[in-house]
Amino acid sequence: MKKILFILPVLFLFGCGPDDPRVEERTADEIYNQAVEYADDTNWNASAIEFIEIERQHPESELAAQGMIMAGYVYFKGDKHVDAVQTIDHFLRLHPSHKNVDYALYLKSMIYYDQISDVRREQIATVEALKTMLLLEEKFPESAYAKNVKAKIVMLKNYLAGKEMFIARKLMKEVLCDLRRFLE
């Protein structure tokens, strides 16, 4: 029993050692270039981590803002839609007047656009894509990205109308079945 009481404090002391791995401090350019290399090799996750690392190590640099946009893009390329949207939203909160806000909104709308499903399913992604495209068009009407989404906005509105038609047909069919049953 005495041995255990002696060994436990010793183990606790050795367990609190300084083997905490330190993150290597690199310049923003070095991190950015490494992230681009990972992206070129289609290593999307490693690329996103590196792009985000720029903001952690160099939050005031211009590359930090650009890195956040790029992290959103590579998350999107790697089919990590939730991470991509969160990263873009984080960028938009921190840099609302950045020169690339129009691209960030465009990228966010394309992330949602990529997730649009059949009219028989829930249309959350369609609604979010439409809202983001309309915001892009409203805030940046002269942007090349706003001009690019004009046709997509019309298509999304038609798609949502198609969803309403699907629901109406389904309800109509149910009403007709109920009416036939009632008349029999």
Q: What's the pLDDT tens digit per position in 128-139? A: 999 999 999 999
Identify the domain containing residue 70 by its residue range.
Answer: 27-98
At which of 98, 126, 161 does a domain end? 98
Q: Is the pLDDT of residue 175 over 70?
A: no
Whether residue 93 is contained in a domain is answered as yes
Question: Of the spans 2-6, 17-21, 140-144, which averages the highest pLDDT?
Answer: 140-144
Q: For the stretch 95-112, what's the b/e string if a residue is b when 16 or more beta carbons lie within 10 angstroms of its beta carbon? A: beebebbbbbbbbbbbbb
Q: How many domains does the chain have?
A: 2
pLDDT at 170 over 60: yes
